[in-house]
Structure 1
Amino acid sequence: MAEGGVGTCPQVFVVDRQESYISVPSGKGSRWPSVSQKFLLLLVGLTLLGLVVEGCFIYRLYKKTEEFSLCKYHPLCQNLSHPQTSGQQGGAIMRQVGPKESNEIPTVPPHLDQVQQRPFAQLIGSSYPIGENNVVLWLGDDAVTHSMVYDGQGRLLVEKEGYYYLYSKLTLNAVEECSVIQHKVMKDTSAYGDPIELMRSKSFRCQTPRRSSAKGSGGEDLWNSFLAGIFHLRSEDKIFVTLENKTKIRPGPIDNFMGAFMI
């Protein structure tokens, strides 16, 4: 204790209020590295996907180029790329196939099958032109066919389905008396029980007055009936021609014919 009874003053301690803080990353900030990594992985994945798609397109382009390079040596591709040359070749083929005389139809040369021709047929009239049920008959030995069959009974059998151009021409004699003459192109198909009428020419014909003198001398009053059209035919369908009033037809291979070819 000090003198005079006065106590000594206690020491005053000064407390430093300045505190050193250690920054602690918040939870929100700590998630940024993982989000950026995911975004980076997404970019890498899209890049790889783009490379795969680009590779597929390049491969397809390569295959197309390879097919074209192989096709250009094929006769059909050469015909498409050189239409004038194709027409000249077609003319040369037709000259080889064409008849030397008007009443001759040659067979199809073997080399035509190698060009992959579409089905076709050409039939000419017989000396005995009408069969059962007014069906017009044709000369089977002189028939020109490819991928089609003539059954010898007036019917042309279709082997390949597709659209066909059908035509028929008959020469008729109307010198005797007035009558109705019907020239038809018919189709037999397994889808229906009865034949289907595709085309018809119906005419009422009489001999002209100026032909009266020719009638007694056995003259002729000739006229033609021609039918043509495009139809869809299925395999196993049969095409044939009928003529009602069969006595009117003028027999012969030049005056009557029937044909079909795929378009």
Structure 2
Amino acid sequence: MAEDGVGTRPQVFVVDRQASYISQPSGKSSRWARVSQKFLLLLVGLTLLGLVVEGCFIYRLYKKTEFQGGAIMRQVGPKESNEIPTVPPHLDPVQQRPFAHLTGSSHLISENEVVLWVHDVTHNMVYDGHGRLSVEKEGYYYLYTKVTLNAAEECSAIHHKVMKATERYDDPIVLMRSKSNRCQTTRAKASGGEDMWNSFLAGIFHLQSEDKIYVTLDNISKFRPGPIDNFMGAFMIFPGNILHASPPTL
């Protein structure tokens, strides 16, 4: 009871339980959420597409491997074997080029100053047994020859030549030549022994089919026979004719 008999009214507070205190998102935030959701769906779609493409590649690789394996098995045959099938060797074009190497004979020396050789090894070239090596394929050949002589006399002229006989000319052609005047040395004269001398010739020449190559010695009596110190050879380094070859196309 208040003084003077006057009473005061109590203050009444009303609580609205249905009121919402959570702030509503703005329109800008809602748009960003929708864009993020679309971007996420796009990433998921790209991921699925990548998986599909990868699966296609794996399937094609599997089919290709299966096909090759079946082809190998057909080559091997129905018989079971642990051996791996081999591919037939393919000769390189360089390995197919003609070549020849002839060595000196121990007893046969010459025929009409043409040095005779022993048929050692030839490929796509023919040795006729009379000192002449025949060309079968046109091209540029490296020719070489070495001869050993005994120059134990007082003085003597030694002519070592490489000749070419061709159907295009009546007379043979000199390809290489070595001319030397050898005189007996004082030591050889005093001992009465031999005075050995050798000559080596080599060069590159264009040869045509059916050309014949041979070696001559003017003073054949001084020739010292044997397979080690005397030989003749040829091998192709370029086929055909460079001068008549067509220019390369750009």
Quickly name the TM-score band, shorter chain normalised.
0.5 to 0.7
In the TM superposition, what are the counterparts of 1:6-25 in structure 2 within 5 Å?
A: none
1:245 aligns with 2:224: no
Query: Equivalent residue for 1:125?
Result: 104
Alpha-carbon distance between aligned partners in 2 of 1:112 and 1:214, rounded to the nearest angstrom:
59
Asked which structure has the greater CA Rg, the reply is 2
- CA deviations on 1:49-81 (whole Å, 9 max, x unpaired) are xxxxxxxxxxxxxxxxxxxxxxxxxxxxxxxxx
Paired residue total: 148
- CA deviations on 1:30-59 (whole Å, 9 max, x unpaired) are xxxxxxxxxxxxxxxxxxxxxxxxxxxxxx
1:233 aligns with 2:181: no
User: Does the residue aligned with 1:170 lie in a helix, a strand or coil?
Assistant: strand
Report the CA distance shift for 1:155/1:113 in structure 2 as closer, same or farther (over 3 A): farther
Structure 2's unaligned 5+ residue stretches are 1-87, 238-250
Query: Equivalent residue for 2:229?
Result: 255
Give how far 1:186 is off.
0.2
In the TM superposition, what are the counterparts of 1:1-263 in structure 2 within 5 Å?
A: 114-116=91-93, 117=95, 118-140=97-119, 143-215=120-192, 219-263=193-237
TM-score (norm. length: structure 1): 0.54
TM-score (norm. length: structure 2): 0.57
Give how far 1:176 is off.
2.3
After superposing on structure 2, the runs of 4+ consecutive aligned residues of structure 1 that deviate more than 4 Å are: none
Alpha-carbon distance between aligned partners in 2 of 1:146 and 1:112, rounded to the nearest angstrom:
18
Give how far 1:131 is off.
2.5
Contact 1:182/1:202, CA 8 A, preserved across alignment: yes
Give the % identical residues: 72
Query: Equivalent residue for 1:98?
Result: none
Give how far 1:223 is off.
1.4
Alpha-carbon distance between aligned partners in 2 of 1:121 and 1:233, rounded to the nearest angstrom:
14
User: Does the residue aligned with 1:139 lie in a helix, a strand or coil?
Assistant: strand
Alpha-carbon distance between aligned partners in 2 of 1:192 and 1:128, rounded to the nearest angstrom:
33
Report the CA distance shift for 1:113/1:238 in structure 2 as closer, same or farther (over 3 A): farther
Contact 2:109/2:115, CA 8 A, preserved across alignment: yes
Contact 1:128/1:137, CA 8 A, preserved across alignment: no
Give how far 1:213 is off.
2.2
User: Does the residue aligned with 2:221 lie in a helix, a strand or coil?
Assistant: helix
Alpha-carbon distance between aligned partners in 1 of 2:191 and 2:109, rounded to the nearest angstrom:
26
Give how far 1:129 is off.
4.3
Alpha-carbon distance between aligned partners in 1 of 2:110 and 2:231, rounded to the nearest angstrom:
15
Q: Letter of the aligned partner of 1:234 in structure 2?
A: Q
- CA deviations on 1:172-218 (whole Å, 9 max, x unpaired) are 11112311010000001010011111000000001111222222xxx
Query: Equivalent residue for 1:76?
Result: none
Report the CA distance shift for 1:156/1:112 in structure 2 as closer, same or farther (over 3 A): farther
Q: Letter of the aligned partner of 1:128 in structure 2?
A: H
